[in-house]
Structure 1
């Protein structure tokens, strides 16, 4: 199907901006993260594109159409355009079904670009291995450098599968190997991911660049401190030690959460990889009978991913563990509402079995909430153990129950970690990530010129 692209972005002074094509086959950056195949990669692609546009670049993001109601072309904001390409049926396909639609998707991308003058794009940046397969073809056709971000890798995931989870297929591993071999530059979220690329995929270290994702610090921020309010409110708050508690109570009331309970928050897709079942089992540990005699309230913000019954299975597990009254499952929410949930929680838990970065952990810390995370992958970079949160060395429910209870019983410890979380979050910003990515693009162009 032909996609008729609108005229070029306005360019009143006649200058030639950097033109970037991004490809995100299996999930649109406009989709709500937290359900289906939508997650941190959606946020990554959109926020990076926005930051690049603020630097004068023009970004066009190609993604697969999942509804007939979607406009073929959407200007997300000045400098960022999303192009929905029809490839296969709109509904009923998850990312495991998409390899069979890559030919159709690639044809749609090439047709769209064919109506532009030759040499339109300067660089092609693909996300996840499915997009890399399309980008490999398009970059050769357009004679532009190919930059690829893996986001997750099959060999890394297969090395740390959750119990009962299915391994990634050999076809994906072969596809990833092909993209690694063809890319002019590979972008890793952390030094650990860069090492994984070199070890597991024999990537040339000279072509691997570490660019840490960012956090929208304007959206994700702590509850206002008493010293940051206007003078009248500040003076009243400083005279009233209970003011912060009332502020938290009002926030929880707005979110329909109990004011008098400890709250642990899980935000993400409900699937074995992300480990919400670890938290439910942790609530069933006998250690909670000590103290006030009940576990905290576990709030799960997320939808089913992989299996349509994933949420019902998690709720059934809570019933089996005898903690159904202590687990509250809600659908995913927009970014600004998510920030309020982070502010309202005592702790944010990220028990993933594999994580290339851990954007939820970074956003929670930016909101001033300590994070308890599994000591895997990029989480070891995002969460500073003992400074902004605590890293748990395994996925045993007993280990998680012990760490969570120790933190929830110690208000001073949590307060120190909260302060460290706020400081730690300043390491991550999308503007900084965009500046570094522009350098990667330039290196990729130089490498492409020599091939």
Structure 2
């Protein structure tokens, strides 16, 4: 069976890295299941020969410049306080025609969709693909409107403040913070009209799967939970003292690690909650060895006005290679992932594979990644005081912290090894192929 993975990029961003890891798992372990995997992206950053990048075959230079302008025009007048990316996935790009040609040439028995967004495949192109489809969701866009995530929870809330995906995007369900054309409803209606046959959905966490099952758009589809794989040779424990020496960090200080693309710029990542938790923790540990606490932030350069927490903050900037990030995981005593919304949490899985305990809120995909009190600690969403207590619980007992780290590595080896994940996807592909034969007349799945 020939599989084509479709994603906007191969390694640019968390979703792309996850999609690429899935692809590489199938390249390396798919032969045992009778599978071959190729990846088709628009933006290619690797030199992997199994990845093809660039604009769709046959796309004219004029359309290449016109298509994003039309997409931008479709958003005109829309206003929202939801800071997440919004994608209308319109108009047609031409990639759908290329995939159809590859299907006719026997190169694509099944298409595996990942993160798409604007400029990859349009909503209509997805609906016209005739081959069996599997779609790994990396956020909520597939069953939402134009938004990739619903509005993040506000202070004191444990869930999203709007869930139109479960209500069907009626005009009455529109949140008060939006104005102008109802872009989300319009995009949702386009999906409902265009997608008329079964798609096998894969979610990396039970939280995202639950959202998909509750959605009006995809609630009747087959949905399976498969975690993202991780290369356990790349992401592996190494000596903490050596890692700190290589990174120029003090040898005998407790280190908290936090990271996100853009650092604290994305409110979903919860940097504000972490800072408040660390302020509380600082006052709690006065006069103890933990008062020498220091923070390392990767994915962000030092801002012009860094927060004053009463202890040093080290900013790494954007890390260009996995080895550097592995060293920071090894150098840290605890990794904190204070996200308000997270489909899976790859920094949490990477840290645990490196033997570093993780603290997070008990919400979203992080509930699946962190085994509470076994590989780290889960705090009450979204309570800075509870987060401070969780960080303190990990740091205060060095022997317990070492046990947490060892258990974290063992959990990674058990759940996220590429061979295991490849086998789980092989099962989904087999089910999708059988379903494709049964539904060659495009049986509708929407009500």
TM-score (norm 2): 0.74
Shift of 1:345: 0.7
1:83 aligns with 2:72: no
1:22 aligns with 2:5: yes
Give the distance between the partners of 1:284 and 1:122, measured in 2 at CA. Answer: 55
1:262 pairs with 254, 261, 264, which one?
254
Q: 3-state DSSP class of the match of 1:103?
A: coil
Q: Call closer, same or farther: CA 1:301–1:183 in 2, change over 3 Å.
A: farther
Deviates more, 1:414-423 or 1:169-178: 169-178
Between structures 1 and 2, the one with greater helix share: 1
- In the other structure, the counterpart of 2:17 is 43
Give the distance between the partners of 2:118 and 2:134, measured in 1 at CA. Answer: 11
- Residues 197-243 of structure 1 deviation map (CA, whole Å, 9 limit, x = unaligned): 111346356611222211111111122xxxxxxxxxxxxxxxxxxxx
Q: 3-state DSSP class of the match of 1:134?
A: coil
**Is the Cα contact below 8 Å between 2:3 and 2:38 reproduced in 1?**
yes
Give the distance between the partners of 2:98 and 2:192, measured in 1 at CA. Answer: 27
**Is the Cα contact below 8 Å between 2:236 and 2:354 reproduced in 1?**
yes
Give the distance between the partners of 1:284 and 1:205, measured in 2 at CA. Answer: 46
Q: Call closer, same or farther: CA 1:327–1:294 in 2, change over 3 Å.
A: farther
**Is the Cα contact below 8 Å between 2:254 and 2:294 reproduced in 1?**
yes
Aligned length, in residue pairs: 382
Instruction: Mark the runs of 5 or more structure 2 residues left unpaired by the alignment.
Output: 57-63, 73-82, 164-182, 440-447
2:296 pairs with 299, 305, 313, which one?
299
Shift of 1:381: 1.2
Give the distance between the partners of 2:438 and 2:401, measured in 1 at CA. Answer: 53
- Residues 330-384 of structure 1 deviation map (CA, whole Å, 9 limit, x = unaligned): 3234222212211111001111111121121111111111110111122111111
- In the other structure, the counterpart of 1:244 is none
Q: Call closer, same or farther: CA 1:327–1:395 in 2, change over 3 Å.
A: farther
Shift of 1:123: 0.7
- In the other structure, the counterpart of 2:88 is 99
Shift of 1:406: 3.0
Give the distance between the partners of 1:347 and 1:428, measured in 2 at CA. Answer: 20
- In the other structure, the counterpart of 1:438 is 426
Q: 3-state DSSP class of the match of 2:335?
A: strand
- In the other structure, the counterpart of 1:9 is none
Instruction: Mark the runs of 5 or more structure 1 residues left unpaired by the alignment.
Output: 1-17, 32-37, 224-246, 305-310
Shift of 1:323: 4.0
Give the distance between the partners of 2:38 and 2:267, measured in 1 at CA. Answer: 33
Q: Call closer, same or farther: CA 1:432–1:289 in 2, change over 3 Å.
A: same
Shift of 1:159: 6.1
Shift of 1:255: 1.3
- In the other structure, the counterpart of 1:5 is none
- Residues 144-183 of structure 1 deviation map (CA, whole Å, 9 limit, x = unaligned): 01211221116694364356x9989625655676787644
Give the distance between the partners of 2:149 and 2:11, measured in 1 at CA. Answer: 26
1:403-418 to 2 correspondence within 5 Å? 403-418=390-405
- In the other structure, the counterpart of 1:203 is 218
- In the other structure, the counterpart of 2:275 is 280
1:303-382 to 2 correspondence within 5 Å? 303=300, 312=303, 316=305, 318-319=307-308, 322-323=309-310, 325-382=312-369
**Is the Cα contact below 8 Å between 2:355 and 2:405 reproduced in 1?**
yes
Shift of 1:411: 0.9
- In the other structure, the counterpart of 2:166 is none
- Residues 70-95 of structure 1 deviation map (CA, whole Å, 9 limit, x = unaligned): 79xx7614xx2222227559999999
**Is the Cα contact below 8 Å between 1:350 and 1:361 reproduced in 2?**
yes
Give the distance between the partners of 2:393 and 2:226, measured in 1 at CA. Answer: 34
**Is the Cα contact below 8 Å between 2:361 and 2:380 reproduced in 1?**
yes
The CA RMSD measured in Å over matched residues stands at: 3.6
